[in-house]
Amino acid sequence: MASSVTSIRSPRAERTRNALINAGFILLVERPIDGIPIDELVAKAGVGKGSFFNHFRDKRDFEAAVANAIRLDIESLVAEANASLDEPILRLIGGMRVAAYFAMDRPKSTAILLRNTVRGTGSEHPLNKGLKADIEAAREQGLIGPEAHRTGVLYWLGLCQILMANLIEAQDAEKDGDGMLRDMLTLGLAGLGIPPEEVEALIKRPGA
């Protein structure tokens, strides 16, 4: 979200910002942000050029806002998928599963997100709040190694992003997305310190 924008916007301002974000969804699929003039963005959104700078500092800020909107969609899907799960490891599994299926179902949105992920990988980033809570809960329960306190969020988020990137690289019918997800979950859980004999059982758990 742009730092120049307050948390409360008028309905008109919200409509303008949404129009710009929606234009970004379309144009950023075709080209990186450096190849998109602001004049083209506002023309696509049907708003005045001055409106762009009322909401965003520059094109980088705008690109981050579009990526943020996509990430919010994913987090909403993760929350829905994990709503009935109390065990933190199962919630980690659920999050990676949602990320993988999002990439397979919406590869263009995923590509936009992945071009801008460097700004959202910190453990204190607001969008990583749920992941951080699950990592900490699993660590405190002795389910995963103590190293996760410092790097658990970065590790799991990185695995999800790498998996998503790989899933959108090849769009042919031969790609075994479910197999790749299963393998990444197996390696990822083992990397967190979960004994190998427990990993397969966790992945097969109902709701996982």
CATH number for 183: 1.10.357
DSSP conformation class of 9? -
pLDDT band for 6, please (50, 70, 90 cuts): very low
Q: Based on the fold, state whether residues 92 and 148 are members of the same structural domain.
A: yes
In a domain, 1, yes or no: no
Domain count, the chain: 2
Q: What is the DSSP string of 66-115?
A: HHHHHHHHHHHHHHHHTTT---HHHHHHHHHHHHHHHHHH-HHHHHHHHT
Q: Are residues 156 and 113 in the same domain?
A: yes
Q: What is the average pLDDT across 156-182?
A: 85
Establish if 64 belongs to a structural domain.
no
Mean pLDDT score of the chain, rounded to an integer? 89
Query: Quick check: 173 pLDDT over 50?
Result: no
pLDDT in tens, 29-79: 888 899 999 999 999 999 999 999 999 999 999 999 999 999 999 999 999
pLDDT bin (cut points 50, 70, 90) of residue 127 is confident
**Confidence at 119, pLDDT banded by 50, 70, 90:** low
**2 within a domain of the structure (yes/no):** no
Its sign, for the CA torsion 175, 181, 187, 192, is positive
pLDDT in tens, 104-115: 999 999 999 998
* Same-domain status, 91 and 52: no
**16 shares its domain with 112:** no
Domain assignment of residue 39, yes or no: yes
The verdict on 21 and 75 lying in the same domain is no
In this structure, is residue 4 part of a structural domain? Answer: no
Residues 140 and 100 in one domain: yes
Residue 101 and residue 19 share a domain: no
Question: Distance (Å, rounded) from C-alpha 48 to C-alpha 41?
Answer: 10
pLDDT of residue 2: 38
50 and 109 co-located in one domain: no
Q: Find all residues with CB under 8 Å of 5, minimum gap 6, and list them.
A: 17, 55
Its domain, for residue 81, covers 70-204
160 with 187, same domain: the answer is yes
Q: Helix crossing, 148-169 with 129-140: angle to 10°?
A: 130
**Would you state the pLDDT for residue 124?**
82
Does 97 share its domain with 184? Answer: yes
Q: What is the pTM of this model?
A: 0.86
Question: Do 87 and 44 share a structural domain?
Answer: no
Over residues 184-190, the mean pLDDT reads: 96
pLDDT digits (tens, 9 = 90+) for 195-207: 988 999 999 886 6
Same domain, 37 and 82: no
